[in-house]
Amino acid sequence: MNSRPRYSATAIAAALGQHTPTPEQAAIIEAPLDPLLVVAGAGSGKTETMAARVVWLVANAYVRPEEILGLTFTRKAAGELAERIRLRLGTLRRRGLIDNDETGLGLDVPTVATYNGYAAGLVKDHGLRLAVEPDAQMLTDAGRWQIAHEVVRSAGADELGDFDTPASTITKAVLSLAGGVSEHLQQPSAIADLVDSVLTRVESLPRDAKTAADTEVRGGNPGRPYAEVKKDLSKLAIKKALVPLVERFNRLKTDRGYLDFGDQVRLAEQLARTMPAVREGERARWSVVMLDEYQDTSYSQLKLLTRLFGDGHSVTAVGDPLQSIYGWRGASAGNLEDFPLDFSSGGRPAAVKYLSTSWRNDTNILRTANLLARPIRDPDAPPLAPAPTAGEGDVVASVSPDYDTEVGALVEWVSAQRTLPGNGDGAPRSIAVLCRRRSLFPAIEGALRLADIPVQVIGLGGLLSTPEVSDIVETLRVVDDPGRGDALMRLLTGNRWRLGAADIAALARYSRRVHGVLRDDTMESDAVDRYSVADGLDSLSARDDRHEITADGLDRMMRLAAMLRRLRRKTSGALPDLVRDTERELLLDVEVAARPGYSPGMARTHLDAFADVAAKFVMSGPAPTLGAFLSWIDAAESEERGLAVRGVEPVPGAVQLMTVHAAKGLEWDAVAIPQLVEDVFPAKARSTAGWLDLPSLPYELRGDRSNLPVWHWRESAHQAELNEERNTFRKAVNENYLSEERRLSYVAMTRARRALWLGASYWGDGKTPRSVSRFVTELVDAGLIGADDWPEAPAKGDEKPAPSDTIAPQWPAAAGTDAAAVHRSAAAEMVRAREAGPESREHVDGAIRGEIDMLLAEREAGRSSGIALPSRLSPTRLVGIDADPEAAAMRLARPMPRGPSRAARLGTAFHAWLESGFGQAALLEPHDVAGSTGGRAADAADGHEADLAALKQTFTASRFADREPVAVESGFEMRLGPVTVPGKIDAVYHDADGYEIVDWKTGRRPDADRLVHTRLQLAVYRLAYAERMNVPPEQIRATFFFLGSNSEVNYPGPDGELPDEAELVAALGRYYRAD
């Protein structure tokens, strides 16, 4: 680039009718073809400057269009940049500034792609050099979850040991570790090696300095680690145990022909590192490389780019260290700072230039953002300055006594903003509400809708909190697992069914009265609790007078039960169809269409987005079951940042509600940020353990470790010093976290063009008052905002004020319930309460009299012959009736509560171990643990741990421990004569001889007489699974495995055959009595 340019940046801008570049912009546009870092503040026109540089290079014939490569993070950003460049080059050609012969214009255009898309292209073109097929299928986040979930649920006890960690937590940890290993170009075995080194070193350290000196002179024994260090070491031990699962996860991906995004970049880096021809070819193909949002690149992306385009190649990177907020997903903020050395030329660091004028934010908004960023800003970097055309801007800090009042103030502000003009183009003002937590969404969304303000929730995490999607998810949870009482309760109290507290309490009493009869030694207590409410709901009949439910409540409950039965019959179909059917059953399509202020398309935004999520889940992995989908949804709910939903377009005129993370790269005329209180924004770190936490790759294995805190475990001379170093390390981790929170606040505030509202409140859900965020008080201290109208802050120890109304709501509103419905329901409850007066005593007396009459009726029913079977009957209850019909009839007439037994506790403990370690959840009955014959007493006071260890050892030594089941905890619902039988099969295996159903029993093998009754459970399981697989029941084997005696009972086998469907129906008929 030695020749003098024909056209300056200013001349090209004039020819294109663009604004004249500032001196900063012109220096970047006209920079030499050397490595260059551009530090571009928020709203400083970096995309415009990048496009202008490409056009300038082409117009001056320094490079042909097809020799330019641009990389960014989203397809949308890539498309917008490519289109901007294409249009401007076309304009220059039409105006005669360039011609096709000089530039090749019209034949080719610059290539603008995503970072992952570019890596994927390298792997597709050259992957065969690494034995990678070019047509490998791309694995999405949902697909990764499905495979990891499968790996964890099939893991053996020898892999997971005795760690009491839920399966969902292990799944997330496996995914995180696998991603970290890939991002930092490591092998999973490196984790185990490092953990071994840490454990060996710590275990060898003496207790303190004096002991260390004595040990050096005379020798001695190592000291015990401090308690907190010991906890950290336990986490490391679990991390090491997960390494085989990470390796298996990677193998399964490879065996099934999948690659994820991390694999693409890792393999591309390997090609660049090991194949000189690949590097030479890319350098020859791309004369100029433009890197957008460089602060968000990962270590593996950095290494790929430096191996291909280091050593003086023309690379221009653009980024803002103050907007580096994606460290949690692998981005390294240090990449931007290290660019000059990473892309040095001939030993000379790359040049650094700045874009320091904001063309987005008005003056007061920019002052606010700059002040908050001051502690983390590079002192050599100029602060962001307002544009000459910037207005004054409006920044308001509103502090309220409580959260409800804060939300009301937010709605008032939004309403006022909607009356103001937008960005000078005649359009209404664009508005967003940015939250640090998704848990804030329901109240804000409901309040906006109550004020007839259209609102659109962005992102799957937020999508799950919308009323219509929340109703679908809760319904699917109950359909998948009738024992999800929590989900059923939210349905009962939600907007669709709106059942009151009195009717729900009456349903619970009815359920205990009708079904509590069978709470005996044939069934563990927690199983009764899980199914009692669902059983009661399904047993209701208009002719049954044993309940105290109102007529309206009874009608709603019966319609809900019928709906759930219809949906359960459709669970074998396609998941997207089930989601749509659930939407229609709940009449959600009708409900959203009736919302005021919404067009039909706008009203369906959330429903369509969720249906798209379900459809993409089905296409993303090998096992798209309803259970796997709900597990993935649970992961999205538990993670504050949620799981991204791609392709959601903003709805014109709607207020957009999203997290701050999701707002990166966007802008609005007006932005509201609620809940700026300590421990919310800035958020409190979930943990300060850093890499000692289960999901985190050890910092020593990360490529960006020089920018991370260090735990000096190698340098510590004794346990006391090691503990001090641990505390220092944790403080440094917390400081790192707070710096990222500060960057996040900078991103949030710089999204606003004209107006910024900052909200806070002293009282939230807790019993102690909160402090206004340091981010707000710093603005007050600097005089940028006032605090004169704030209410007085509560003193430490003050009690939370009581609600202003003395009549409390009769039932808390379900999360995500439509606000208008909540207000109507609450108003109705208040009116009823105020109108009740003294007459309420008569209602209570009447209820007691009804209870007495019902007990007398039950006593008479107990004297009659037969058993009034419920409409739903679990397999274990069927066993109980068959074993002792007289006892069942007696308990039906007068059910008695039973306290939790030691056997049930042991069964629950083993159940939890199976679920977390093997993914094989068992329905464990207390009598199975104690043993029905010759077993130890159920009330034994000691030996719990020993018994549990023995059960584990027996299982791991069995023929099932090393086998991979084709199904675990497989739910079903079938009709058997007069009753519906719901249940779950513990495990199903498949081999050359066909299917084998297994039911785990933690007790000893019962005698032959008892087995005659117990086998009915397997008979039901066999019929249900045969129906599902469409095979004759006779082709399915069934096994009880009694771990207490390490013995199996196989059907068919020496103990006989299982009864067929006709025999089971006949057995029910012997005891059934219709009321």
User: Per the annotation, where are the binding residues?
Assistant: 40-47
Residues 280, 286, 289, 295: is their CA dihedral positive or negative?
negative
CA distances from 114 to 72, 111, 117, 291, 297 (A): 5, 10, 5, 10, 11
Indicate left, alpha or beta for 597 from its phi (over 0: left) and psi (-120 to 50: alpha). Answer: left
Q: What is the CA radius of gyration of the chain?
A: 33
Residues 768, 771, 776: CA angle, nearest 5 degrees? 160
How far is Cα 36 from Cα 316, in angstroms, rounded to an integer?
A: 5
Nearest to 1001 by CA among 1054, 951, 1037: 951
Contact 343, 315 (CB under 8 A): yes
Contact 830, 805 (CB under 8 A): yes
Q: What is the DSSP string of 220-289?
A: -PPPPPPHHHHHHHHHHHHHHHTHHHHHHHHHHHHHTTEE-HHHHHHHHHHHHHH-HHHHHHHHHH-SEE
Q: What is the DSSP string of 472-492?
A: HHHHHHHHH-TT-HHHHHHHH
How far is Cα 216 from Cα 204, in angstroms, rounded to an integer?
A: 13
How far is Cα 861 from Cα 752, in angstroms, rounded to an integer?
A: 71
Q: What is the DSSP string of 587-616?
A: THHHHHHT-TT--HHHHTHHHHHHHHHHHH
The dihedrals phi and psi of 670, each to the nearest 5 degrees, come to -135, 140
How far is Cα 465 from Cα 817, in angstroms, rounded to an integer?
A: 9
Residue showing tokens 């505390």: 727
760 sits in which H/E element: strand 752-763
Question: How many CB atoms are located within 10 Å of the residue 980 CB?
Answer: 18
Residues 520, 522, 525: CA angle, nearest 5 degrees? 60
Residues 376, 378, 382, 388: is their CA dihedral positive or negative?
negative
User: Per the annotation, where are the binding residues for ATP?
Assistant: 40-47
Q: How many CA atoms lie within 13 A of 681 on its CB side?
A: 29
Nearest to 699 by CA among 324, 186, 293: 186
